[in-house]
Amino acid sequence: MGYDASFERLPINACFDLKGSESALGEWMGAELLPGFPTEANRCCKADGLSLDHVGPCRWLLQADIDREAELNAALRPHAAPAEASIVRISDTMTTFRVAGADAAHVLAIGCPLDLHDTAFPEDAVSFTEFFGHKALVRRCAGGFDVSVEQSFGDMTEDCLARALR
Amino acid sequence: MMLIPCPFCGHRNESEFAYGGPVKPDRPEPHETGDEDWVEWLTTVPNPLGPVEERWWHVKGCGTWLTIWRDTRTHEIVEGPGDAG
């Protein structure tokens, strides 16, 4: 019996890895650029097509459509960031898969140890975890989950997902 | 399988972590300690039958290094990081 789910490889997003204190990053980038810092660990704030994910102590990922990469790069000025803030463009380092369908959570559970129940992993949850043995970023999307892995593990992850869905 | 308390993420599966080894005593000053104590510190890894203080790295998660006390007989985590969720 197969699962009622499917997956697809998504086009890359614009993604910036931000490290530093909230105050240092906010001061450098300006509060108007960011959608606001999430108040809880492993949560995201979304606004105006941007998503700011709190993925570690003093670490955030800023994501948007790839069309906005140049605009964000110009606004963030990674090359000129002060010593208190690190800003690195990592758009091409991640490959994202969208797993959607009624059984999406069951498919993820094959390779991911996270508790993905609504109460433990709500709509604005985002977290690094493990997926088929490799580090992966998991978030909710409409009807399922988006799983991002390092680009070099993309083909392997695609193979694992295809086997899981058989 | 253990659930390890991460100060940032809360309890997470052991497979998300890398073992960082037991916490060793403070390094003695080599010029002020005897050979026996120096060799003991340098070569002997804490390996008690019971609670041992260990370092773990949340390498597949948030990247935090944390310290726990784990009972080597039962794998029960008898003391986690103070601010673990």
Convert B9-21 to b/e letters by CB count within 10 Å (16 or more is b): bbebbeebbeeee
How far, in Å, are A22, B5, B28, B52, B70 from residue B79 at the CA level? 30, 9, 26, 10, 7
Domains in chain A, start-ordered, CATH in brackets? 6-10+93-164 (3.30.1360.120), 13-92 (3.30.70.1400)
How far, in Å, are A20, A142, A146, A159 from residue A10 at the CA level? 29, 14, 9, 15
**Residue in this structure with the two tokens 């690190």, named with its chain if needed:** A86
pLDDT digits (tens, 9 = 90+) for A18-51: 999 999 998 898 877 888 899 899 999 999 899 9
Q: What single string gives the DSSP state of each residue in A32-87?
A: TTSS---SSTTBEEEETTEEEEEEETTEEEEEEEGGGHHHHHHHH-GGG--TTEEE
Tell whether B11 is covered by a domain. no
The rounded distance, in Å, linking the Cα atoms of B41 and B28 is: 8
Residue B82 banded pLDDT, cuts 50, 70, 90: low
Q: Name the closest residue on chain A to residue B62, using Cα atoms.
A: A56
pLDDT digits (tens, 9 = 90+) for B61-71: 999 999 999 99
What residues in A contact B12, CB-CB < 8 Å? 113-114, 129
In the predicted model, what is the mean pLDDT of residues B36-57? 93
What residues in A contact B62, CB-CB < 8 Å? 41-42, 55-57, 59, 127-128
Tell whether B36 is covered by a domain. no
Domain span at residue B54 reads: 16-24+47-85
- Residue B85 pLDDT exceeds 50: no
For chain A, first and last CA: distance in Å?
A: 8
Q: For chain A, list residues whose CB is within 8 angstroms of any CB belonging to chain B.
A: 41-42, 55-57, 59, 113-114, 127-130, 134-136
Low-confidence ranges of chain A (pLDDT < 50): none
Tell whether B40 is covered by a domain. no
Number of domains within chain B: 1
Tell whether B5 is covered by a domain. no
